Every structure is written in C-alpha cells, then in structure tokens.
Amino acid sequence: MKKIKIYALSTCLWCKRTKKFFEDRKISFEAVDYDKADEAEQERIMAEMRGKGGGGSFPYVCIGEEVVQGYDPDEFERLLGCGKK
C-alpha cells in the first residue's frame, strides 16, 4: 500500500472531504493541519509544497511519490488503483 500524507487546513471544506474519502475506504493516512502546526512546521510544509510546484492551496495529498493538490476523487482512485465507491 502506498504511503498517504495529507496537508490540510482545519477550516477547509475540501480538506475534510479528502480525509473522508480515505476514511470511507478504510485507507490509513497521515494528516497534518497546517494552521494548527507551529511556525517551524508551517514553514517546512510550505517549503515542501512549493518545492513540488504547489502554492498555499489546500488540500495537498501525497500518494506514494505522486502529489494531488485539491479534492480530486478520480485522481485519488487512479493513484490508489482502486475503483469507485
């Protein structure tokens, strides 16, 4: 199973839907709420996102080595190699 990491904002509707997508499929993931993190962690997250061509738009989902920015269930399913639920 590919490692899944989600950078989110606690205020973001699409971040909540992204987490729910994985929860509904009982796929474990690591999630960090950027706005709840300390300043050093925020800078690290932003540097990582910018390093991979993303800005400050959330959600930001790493599935294995691939990155999906935004809520995109079709792309999540494609990268996970699973069908629609």
Partner 1 sequence: MNVEAGKKALRFQFAPIVDKLGYKFNPAEEDVEFLLEAEVTFQRQYGIPYCPCQARTRDRAENMKIVCPCIPFHREHYDAMKRCWCGLFVHKDVTDPSALKQIPPSKFVKRKE
Least spacing, CB of residue 56 vs partner 1, in Å: 4
The answer to whether residues 10 and 16 touch, using CB atoms and an 8 Å cutoff, is no
Closest CA to 56 of 71, 65, 66, 45: 45
Of the two residues 4 and 59, which places its CB atom closer to partner 1 in the complex?
59
Of the two residues 4 and 34, which places its CB atom closer to partner 1 in the complex?
34
**Residue 82 binds partner 1, judged by CB under 8 A:** no
- Render 7-45 in DSSP notation, one character per residue: EE-TT-HHHHHHHHHHHHTT---EEEEGGGS-HHHHHHH
Interaction mask 19-38, partner 1, x per CB under 8 A? ---------------xx---
Binding site for partner 1 (CB under 8 A): 9, 11-15, 34-35, 42, 46, 53-58, 68-72
